[in-house]
Amino acid sequence: MAAHGGREGEVPGPARAHLLAGLWRAAPRGAPVQRAGPHRQGEGAHRHRSRSPRLWLGGVAQPGNRSDEGRHRCGRRLADPQRDDQRGERRVVGLVPPRRWRGHRLLTARRSGDRRRRERSRGAPHRAHAAVRPRHGRHSSCRRGLRRGDHRGEGTRREDPRRDGVSFDLLIRNTSEVVTCTGEGTAEAMLAPIKRGCVGIREGRIAWLGTEPTEGATLELDARGGFVGPGFVDCHTHVVFAGDRSDEFELRCQGRTYLEIAATGGGIAKTVTATRAANEDQLFKLALPRLERLLKHGVTTAEVKSGYGLDVESELRMLRVVRRLGEQQPISLVGTLLALHAIPPEFKTDRAGWVRLVIDELIPRVASEGLARFNDVFVEQTAFTHDEARAVLEAGLRHGLKPRLHVDQMTANGGAQLAASLGAVTADHLEQISAEGIAALARSGTVAVFAPTSTLFARARPFAPGRALRDAGVRVALCTNCNPGSSHSENVFLAIGLACVENGMTPAEAYLGFTRFGADAIADSSLGRLQVGAPADVTIFSADSYRALPYHFAMNSVAHVVKDGQLVF
């Protein structure tokens, strides 16, 4: 106290903390004295200092090397993508790059072909990944305190990744199961799942299927326990159109039927007017977000119909837009000419004239430009007859266009038998199909295509008899039928749920409807299945089983979509 100016004497009043507060004074501030000392062992200009690798290379942040997480108190007990995000290494959730550390460089994961002499007695080395740290049975990968030449020779790093044990461009792993859709027998057997399987992809195609690959990959995709299956095939859509028909939806909610609305100038005719008024760029911009929504629902291939132009130039313009869309967004598109969708207003009194124009001019021009794979006709009381459909479809066959039909949707008119007699690839809708029609489809091998969202949306009943068709051995595909009038929805999972609840199908049958049988409906057996050599169109789900898709009703369970080996969602 004397040193701080205290004096002897009695302190008046009760002692309080304030009497001592003045004794604690801040020490005078000044530059600290710090002398440079000698380098500690392991330090120096030619050696790594014992500090975080994040501070190497002039302070530029570096990815973690399986030991930084503990030092920086981050990443412990976190999933791989969370650690990657903290390091700024990856921004796409679920992508986990296999890596190993060599000095300041990230190299591909070590495999059994590397370090063979050094590890021959111990067998294949462990796979390096983000969760492995040096203390897990290995020496530190940093090699601090060693000269560069002390632990590596010239030419150790190889430029060709396959020589480092990497043969896949993309490897999908950590799945609950890989549903291949390549089996035979019952629907459940057709799924042919691989429990906890992996999918190896190279150059846009599936190169390997199994439980654990012996080769590495440039990039890994962590399924996080979800199941993996083929990309969905939406085999019946009308996504190229202009205009809005929400007023008609309101009328249906008030009790008006689809046929009543169409009889007063609504329905398809209203969309035709708006579509004819739109140019190619406008139709392209309107369709693009619809396809983006389909992609987010796991669709990698879709069939797209014309049918809202109903004159030669407008129909051609729609199909050219389909081709352009297929070139400028990820989903592969298959064009279908649907010139006999409705009677054009100019031909109300000369419907035979429109049929002749389609046969003589439109079909040859579509075929010469390669704008479509299929030729479709709407057979109904308010649309076209059996004879008109047969004439147009046979003309399409002469030009290489395969037949499809909209039949038995609103009335039972023998449309399924017509499709079978023509050898049509598909017969679509079928809410009113007869027992004779079911037997005809079973004999011909024609694929039945259900659009349960349309049945619901149009407030029509009954739903198509899925149980009867499947029991008869008919392949049943499903579709969204995305269109402005009877199914303004891109929700694949709504269609899957309705197929189980209303069409009488099992979850396995519904799943096949958007994969294997959906591919059959566009006559392409390379799609809708996961098999070596097939296009790498893959959907990764957050659900652990296909059974969850209809059960979690209308809920989108897609986590990632791979198209031709590229992650597109």
The response to whether 531 counts as a known ligand-binding position is no
The response to whether 491 counts as a known ligand-binding position is no
The response to whether 409 counts as a known ligand-binding position is yes
Alpha carbon distance 187, 224 (integer Å): 26
The response to whether 139 counts as a known ligand-binding position is no
Alpha carbon distance 241, 319 (integer Å): 11
Alpha carbon distance 233, 252 (integer Å): 30
Length of the chain: 569
Buried b or exposed e, range 378-402, using 16+ CB within 10 angstroms: bbbeebbbbebbbbbbebbeebebb
In the structure, how many helices (H) and strands (E) does the chain have? 22, 21
Alpha carbon distance 496, 509 (integer Å): 9
Burial class (CB in 10 A: 0-12, 13-18, 19+), 558: buried
Residue with token string 């990497």: 166
The count of other CB atoms within 10 Å of the CB of residue 71 is 12
Burial class (CB in 10 A: 0-12, 13-18, 19+), 36: exposed
Angle CA 223–204–299, to nearest 5: 60
The count of other CB atoms within 10 Å of the CB of residue 523 is 16
Pairing of strands 332-340, 205-210: unpaired
Alpha carbon distance 339, 486 (integer Å): 18
DSSP label at residue 524: -
The response to whether 406 counts as a known ligand-binding position is yes
If DSSP codes are grouped into helix, strand and coil, which group holds residue 201? Answer: strand
Omega of the bond leading into 230 within 30 degrees of 0 (cis)? no
The response to whether 136 counts as a known ligand-binding position is no
The response to whether 444 counts as a known ligand-binding position is no
Alpha carbon distance 564, 569 (integer Å): 12
Nearest of 213, 221, 275, 219 to residue 244 by alpha carbon:
275
The response to whether 113 counts as a known ligand-binding position is no
Burial class (CB in 10 A: 0-12, 13-18, 19+), 274: middle
The response to whether 483 counts as a known ligand-binding position is yes
- List C-alpha distances in Å: 43 to 60, 67, 141, 145: 20, 20, 18, 7
The response to whether 546 counts as a known ligand-binding position is no
The response to whether 103 counts as a known ligand-binding position is no
Contact yes or no for 475/184 (Cβ under 8 A): no
The per-residue DSSP string of 247-258 comes to HHHHHHHTT--H
DSSP label at residue 359: I
Write out the binding residues for N-formimidoyl-L-glutamate: 308, 483, 485
Write out the binding residues for Zn(2+): 236, 238, 406, 481
Write out the binding residues for Fe(3+): 236, 238, 406, 481
Write out the binding residues for 4-imidazolone-5-propanoate: 245, 308, 341, 409, 486
Write out the binding residues: 236, 238, 245, 308, 341, 406, 409, 481, 483, 485-486
